[in-house]
Amino acid sequence: MRNYDALGAAAATGAVATVWLLRHALYQKICQVFSKSESASGPACPAKVQGLAGLIGNTPLVRIASLSEATGCEILAKAEFLNPGGSVKDRVALHIIRDAFAQGLLQEGGLITEGTAGSTGVSLAMLAHAYGCRCHIAMPDDAAEEKGRMLEALGATVQRMRPVSITNPDHFVNVARRRAAQEPNSIFADQFENLANFRAHLQTGRELWQQCSRHLDGFVCGAGTGGTIAGISTFLKQQCPSVQVFLIDPPGSGLYNKVVRGVMYTQQEAEGKRLKNPCDTITEGIGINRQTSNFSKARIDGAFQGTDREAVEMAAYLLRNDGLFVGSSAAMNCVGAVKLARNLGRGHIIATILCDGGQRHLSRFYNLDYLKAHNLLPASTGNSLDFVT
């Protein structure tokens, strides 16, 4: 509980945490620039990078010591929170904007719109400046408050919408699509269906494969748009078909049943228990009840279901044992890594993604009052993983 008490103070210094994150990302890039070593698969990092876009990607691969020692497997994670925008979505935003410019769909001075719960919007808003464009984000009004604040700080116009079904014209994604259609030189980023998302993560997979020295037994992560697991799984399977790729799916999402049984189904929908969130979970950025174009590209061998309790306990565990302060989807990914380690057995190498840091989740996932109201206060102590079932 002491770790979570400390997060109350962190909420008051969110700006400081953000500045630290950006400075640390720059430090990592500088370290890479001055590294002269070359791998057999490609050249060393260039002497300099070109602007903001050059800082995106080539994130470090970190060994999570506590999980590795507890499972008997090497648990590795791509530290995507070290991208300049603080999340894995920087990669997607960059590819979407570059593709739009290359196809003549967008020019300097144009407008980029998106419907998003946060991280993709942050990345688009940041990169829009680098390309001389404007950004408009429609988002659900139940998303973490700090994400909306960051979007506004980055100069995006933010439109908060009541969460409704994707079939409703007033769903935040549909609102963003209409906004782009209202003026020339505008694009709707469409991260769920735009295959630039998938293509961006072919590079993520390439980096991971090289950082593992071409030796990897399993990969696991959650899916929202599906771009991350699709791109990474496709690249890994091209290099080594025996790599086991697993999905970790949160409560209320239908992807687990889609992978395991071939049918997009979740019991919460059938019983009419749906909360106002896209899925009945406090994790953000993963879980969905429709198949996207990006997810259709994924090459997945199996799936696990995770719980909110497991994600909250894992976040506290990583902070307590490794000093890693991760977001809700990253915590769920680590739950998946433990489940896959148990599935494969000791001695295997397993990788996952740390999508973003915990500073974007202070108002919900790391809010003691919120967790208490949902009966999710972390209770585990020490280095036991008994909370992962």
- Confidence band of 2 (pLDDT split at 50, 70, 90): very low
Read off the pLDDT of residues 30-60 as tens digits, 9 standing for 90 and up: 344 434 444 445 556 557 899 999 999 999 9
Read off the pLDDT of residues 11-34 as tens digits, 9 standing for 90 and up: 333 443 443 444 444 444 434 443
Read off the pLDDT of residues 291-316 as tens digits, 9 standing for 90 and up: 999 999 999 999 999 999 999 999 99
pLDDT at 3 over 70: no
Read off the pLDDT of residues 138-164 as tens digits, 9 standing for 90 and up: 998 887 788 888 999 999 999 999 988
| 226, 298 contact by CB (below 8 A) | yes
Lowest mean pLDDT segment, chosen from 115-129, 225-239, 277-291, 373-387: 277-291
Distance (Å, whole) CA 58 – CA 79 = 9
Percent of the chain past pLDDT 90, that is, above it, reads: 73
Q: Quickly tell me which residue has 């071409």 as its tokens.
A: 214
Rounded mean pLDDT, 135-140: 95
Percent of the chain past pLDDT 70, that is, above it, reads: 84
Residue-level pLDDT at 157: 96
Read off the pLDDT of residues 312-357 as tens digits, 9 standing for 90 and up: 999 999 999 999 999 999 999 999 999 999 999 999 999 999 999 9
Residue-level pLDDT at 144: 75
> Taking the model in full, what pTM does it have?
0.85
Residue-level pLDDT at 46: 59
Residue-level pLDDT at 272: 41
Mean pLDDT of the chain: 87
| 314, 335 contact by CB (below 8 A) | yes
Residue-level pLDDT at 142: 82
Given 89, 237, 258, 297, the catalytic residue: 89
- Confidence band of 375 (pLDDT split at 50, 70, 90): very high
Lowest mean pLDDT segment, chosen from 207-221, 224-238, 359-373: 359-373
SS (H, E, C) the chain: CHHHHHHHHHHHCHHHHHHHHHHHHHHHHHHHHCCCCCECCECCCCCCCCCHHHHCCCCCEEECHHHHHHHCCEEEEEEHHHCCCCECHHHHHHHHHHHHHHCCCCCCCCEEEEECCCHHHHHHHHHHHHCCCEEEEEEECCCCHHHHHHHHHCCCEEEEECCCCCCCCCCHHHHHHHHHHCCCCEEECCCCCCCHHHHHHHHHHHHHHHHCCCCCCEEEECCCCCHHHHHHHHHHHHHCCCCEEEEEECCCCCHHHHHHHCCCCCHHHHCCCCCCCCCCCCCCCCCCCCCCCCHHHCCCCEEEECCHHHHHHHHHHHHHHHCCCECHHHHHHHHHHHHHHHHHCCCCEEEEEECEEHHHCCCCCCCHHHHHHCCCCCCCCCCCCCCCC
| 149, 129 contact by CB (below 8 A) | no
**Measured in Å, how far apart are the chain's first and last C-alpha atoms?**
22
Read off the pLDDT of residues 90-122 as tens digits, 9 standing for 90 and up: 999 999 999 999 999 999 999 999 998 778 999
Distance (Å, whole) CA 278 – CA 139 = 12
Is 276 a residue of the active site?
A: no
pLDDT at 374 over 90: yes
Residue-level pLDDT at 117: 77
